[in-house]
Amino acid sequence: MEITKDPMVLWNYFGDLPMNPETEEMEAPFMQFPKGTHREEIWKWFESTYPGFSVEKALYGAYDEEGVKNTLIEYLYRDADNYKVWNEAVVSGVLTDEEKAQIEGSLSEGEYFLPQQVGLPEKRFDEETESDHPWFELITIKDTNAPTTGALTAKELLENFLKAKDCWEPND
């Protein structure tokens, strides 16, 4: 089997292979691992090969049959001269439509927020100018199968936005 971008394809294949329940050693080869490899060695390989993939989540059914389900947040930094820097982050887990609406309802003036206040990374321009300010525009929140880009979960993100509602505090 070839390596794939979707870890769940391999995980499901791996899960169908025979394993000795007493020794937890594989009874068939898997990828570069020979017969007799302990399953935890393969688990470590999964997590190092696929950043954002969690063996624990896969074992306990946190991923569905379509693959890793996460949330993509796309947001934009636009300075006063209208120069733009695109930002995005992928958090683990999914949000309901109602939760996405709650995040949108917590934004300043219906579209602005401070990423550092909710735990998201910020990309701006390399050099600060008089046109810079701390605000970012939320573009979209959507489900994705992409791996996570940090440790933040979708629920933590929601909680952070709700805490910041009406209390946005720029550090600049």
pLDDT of residue 12: 79
Q: List strand residue ranges (DSSP E) for the chain, in order.
A: 19-20, 25-26, 70-78, 84-92, 112-113, 136-144
pLDDT of residue 44: 93
pLDDT of residue 153: 93
CA distance 18 to 29: 10
One digit per residue, pLDDT tens: the chain, 172 residues? 555 566 777 887 888 888 898 999 999 998 899 999 999 999 999 888 887 788 887 876 666 545 558 898 999 999 999 999 999 998 999 999 999 999 999 999 999 999 999 999 999 999 999 999 999 999 999 888 777 888 899 999 999 999 999 999 887 5
Residue 79 has a CB neighbour count (10 Å cut-off) of: 17
Q: Which residues contact 79 (CB under 8 A, 6 or more apart)?
A: 124, 125, 129, 131, 132, 133
pLDDT of residue 145: 76
Residue 88 has a CB neighbour count (10 Å cut-off) of: 17
Map residue 64 onto helix, strand or coil: strand
pTM, whole model, 2 decimals? 0.62
pLDDT of residue 65: 47
In the chain, domain spans: 7-59, 70-164
